[in-house]
Structure 1
Amino acid sequence: MPLMLSVAPTLRPVLDPEFLPGALWQRAYRALVAADPGARPFAVVLERTDGSVFRHDSRVLSAVHPQAALTLTYAERLLKFLLWMKGGPRVLVAGADEIAAALGRIYAPTGARASDCEFMGVKIFGREFSVEATTFTALPASRETSLPMGRHLDGCRIGFDLGGSDRKASALIDGEVVFSEEIAWDPYFQKDPAYHIEGVHDSLRRAAARLHVCAIRVAWNSKCPASRWASWLRST
């Protein structure tokens, strides 16, 4: 990250005294932009395959500012954050064509962010990832969708967390916890699926013994693929 900004953290970590929190860098960059009479409006839009659109508006330094090179750092970190906050396979950038072109090279199959390009493109949304320069008048309007979340606590339910060092299971009846247990295990180095399945079965059986199950919620951090869990749960 270019350090052409004057940023002096109040506290410096002993083991990494040169560490610079991104929030402080961003704050210093925005102050520089606020003092630039030629600062430009800048927008990043993420389009998703379901038709939803997310838009983020800000301002960046003028292209002729002595520290204009900082803008690419700002824009790249911003795009990285937005991709993992919102996601989308198509990125539209308005207000700085040179930044859009640079981002397109960075977030390309052979660029520095090739993994993000692949993940946010084909792997998640099933289409090629792209970064395109456009004008403000051509930018689509924000169009976000939302889905109601559950919070369903009625009936008999099991919460199950497969961690890397332990597995946790809880049982609830109409929102009241009637069972909670944490059992140490070592899934990372266990290549035999039977080890994983037997551990899962054991925890679920312990929790289910306290109630009549209406639903099971599972979170996992295990080497056993999710498809195997789904197949096993359907068969029980």
Structure 2
Amino acid sequence: MELIVPKVKPVLDPEFRPAALAWRAFAHRIAGQSLPIRIAVEQSNGSIYVFERAIDRNTSSDATAVNLRFLEREVKFLLWAVGGFRIHIDAPEALVGFLRDYIYRYSPNQLFDKDVMGPIIYGRPFEIVHAAGAAFPKASHVTLPLGRHTGGCRVAIDKGASDIKAYAEQDGKTTFASEFKWDPKPQSDPAYHYEHIRHALRAAAASLPRVDAIGVSSAGVYVDNEARIASLFRGVPRDLFQSEIVPMYHRFQEEFGGIPVVVANDGSVSALAGSMSLNRNRVLGLAFGSSLAAGYTDVTGNITTWLDELAFVPIDMNPLAPADEWSGDRGCGVQYLSQQAVNRLLPAAGIEFPKDMGVPERLEGVQALMKQGDPRPPKIYQTIGSYFGYALAHYANYYDIGTVLVMGRVTTGEGGDVILKVAAEVLEQEFPNLKIDVRLPDEASRRVGQAAAAASLPQISR
């Protein structure tokens, strides 16, 4: 697959090779000799999402290698953006067989995906199936109404890797909004997580005469208010994760008297926040925090059953791109659009912090230098802005995007404006036909907007 040098180069990362440009170059190269293929992603609730693509009809060894690279990266994107335990592919059988029997059997990166998408999230063995012609399944999927409920006494939290944002409101009027520091990732004791979350909930609840409902925004995949996989709990051993973390919000529900509790992915809540505040649909919400969170509201204002875990989706096609510390794959969004990106770019920017300083504190240090007029931090934000512009163009190949709302600590302060300015330059210079309205919320909403939107998740029985 051809690697294209971007016009708007990230000043601190000259080796960045955007996936959006590679995909476009591939499409141009095979024009007139393309072979249509179909990929279907099946979920355990019966939802099936179908994507029509094209590969090179040429069967030479070079063309086959490029086709395989394209197909492997395509499946990677669909697994983490859409999510599913079974992939149906209507393409040349040899190509599908190599992907199934070699890459997804022996590659450590794909074994990670296979384990997560199969038994951990969907509770079934993961499969790749060659499904040609009539054997290919028909599309069938649902959307889910999410949030937008008002009234009553509501408590909400938004869990990040460095703090828990807590919020409370009574009949739409804010009664509490604060942040509580924590450091969850290295913690192996489930009690650490339980007590910190409980403290934040209780602090917000203390501002209300009663609590009618609790909404939770959190990184990770949640099904029926239960964590399936979440980076915040990576330090907890698997057996304790199953026995203590999975049922944790059911315990909170009992503790608060059986009131409605709804837990949603923080990306979905980010999209909901944008849709509610702007009164728009077709909103892609992105949170540049400890990781990259994403969510999407469709043309009807509902969320889909997509996972939207864009942290694991590759946006850089350079085979030597930075590796994700969790999955091991290279070029994934978390290394480009999060606090981890800021930390990774510090040496190139010539900024040094103590080795024992945490990543959130390093971001705060960069923000402080930015306020002081130091010339080095703008280069970090310019680089992230370039990443962001090309990532948006790649996402637009899969999502019908009208508006993008960007939240998270990385966008706080003047740096957020630099990120948006450079992203707009990318779209204008490289993708002029792509019309996307990219916005930052106001400063307060950047920090607690997701917690406020999470308060609308539960429906209160009257």
TM-score (norm 1): 0.85
AA aligned opposite 1:54: Y
Query: What SS class does the counterpart of residue 56 from structure 1 fall into?
Result: strand
Within a 5 Å distance, the mapping from 1:52-91 to structure 2 comes to 52-64=47-59, 67-91=63-87
Cα deviation for residue 194 of structure 1 reads: 5.1
Q: Is the 8 A contact 1:92 1:131 kept in 2?
A: yes
How far apart, CA to CA, are the structure 2 residues paired with 1:95 and 1:188? 41
Q: How far apart are residue 38 of structure 1 and its match?
A: 2.9
For residue 73 of structure 1, report the CA deviation from its aligned partner.
Answer: 1.2
Distance 1:176 1:132, change over 3 A: same
Aligned counterparts of 1:228 and 1:91: Cα–Cα separation in 2: 32
Q: 1:127 to 1:189 in 2, by over 3 A?
A: closer
For residue 43 of structure 1, give the secondary structure of its aligned residue in structure 2. Answer: strand
Give, in whole Å, the separation in 1 of the partners of 2:182 and 2:82. 34
Aligned partner (choices 211, 214, 221) of residue 216 of structure 1 = 214
Q: Which runs of 5+ in 1 are unaligned?
A: none
Distance 1:218 1:143 in 2: 29
Q: Percent identity?
A: 34
Q: Distance in 2 between matches of 1:181 and 1:60?
A: 51
Provide the aligned length of Structure 1 versus Structure 2. 231
State how far apart, in whole Å, the 2-side matches of 1:98 and 1:189 are. 43
Instruction: State the Cα deviation string for residues 63-92 of structure 1 (Å, max 9, x = none).
Output: 335534211111111111111122221211
User: Out of 144, 152, 165, which is 2:149 matched to?
Assistant: 152
Corresponding residue for residue 12 of structure 1: 9
After TM superposition, list the pairs within 5 Å mapping 1:116-127 onto structure 2.
116-127=113-124
Answer whether contact 2:194 2:248 (CA < 8 A) is retained. Answer: no
Q: Deviations over 1:165-196 (max 9, x none)?
A: 22211111223322211123344455555554
Letter of the 1:39 counterpart: S
Greater relative contact order (Cα < 8 A, sep 6+): 2
Q: Which runs of 5+ in 2 are unaligned?
A: 219-231, 237-244, 257-462
Is residue 33–residue 57 contact of structure 2 (8 Å, CA) maintained in 1?
A: yes
Q: Between 139-148 and 183-192, report the one with greater CA deviation.
A: 183-192
Q: Note the C-alpha offset of 1:109.
A: 4.2
- Partner SS for 2:76: helix
CA 1:111/1:185 → structure 2, altered by over 3 Å: closer, same or farther?
Answer: closer
Look up the match of 1:231: 251
Q: Does 1:173 align with 2:170?
A: yes
Equivalent residue, structure 1, for 2:88: 92
* 1:38 corresponds to: 33
Choose 1 or 2 for highest CA Rg: 1
Task: Report the residue type matching 1:215 in the other structure.
Answer: A
Partner of 2:400: none
Find 2:42's aligned residue among 31, 35, 47.
47
Q: Distance in 2 between matches of 1:193 and 1:118?
A: 23
Residue 163 of structure 1 aligns with which residue? 160
Matched, 1:129 2:126: yes
Partner Cα distance (2:82, 2:180) in 1: 35
CA contact (8 A) 1:44 1:94 kept: yes
Question: Equivalent residue of 2:63, what SS?
Answer: coil
Q: Against the structure 1 CA distance between its residues 169 and 127, is the aligned structure 2 distance closer, same or farther, given a 3 Å change threshold?
A: same
* Equivalent residue letter for 1:203: A
State the distance in 2 between where 1:93 and 1:214 align. 47
Q: Matched residues in 1 for 2:171 and 2:77: separation? A: 38
Offset, 1:144: 0.9
CA distance in 2, matches of 1:72, 1:15: 31
Given that residues 107 and 116 in structure 1 are in contact (C-alpha distance below 8 angstroms), is that contact kept between their aligned partners in structure 2?
no
Shift, 1:25, TM fit: 0.7
Q: Deviations over 1:79-106 (max 9, x none)?
A: 1111112222121111322221122035
Equivalent-residue separation in structure 1 for 2:114 and 2:34 (angstroms): 29
Is the CA contact (8 Å cut-off) linking 2:3 and 2:17 kept in structure 1?
Answer: no
Q: Deviations over 1:131-170 (max 9, x none)?
A: 1212122211111122222321221111112322222111
| Residues 15, 45 of structure 1: alpha-carbon distance in 2 compared, 3 angstrom cutoff | same
SS of residue in 2 equivalent to 1:67:
helix
Greater fraction helix: 2
Q: Deviations over 1:25-53 (max 9, x none)?
A: 1111111122xx33111111122232221
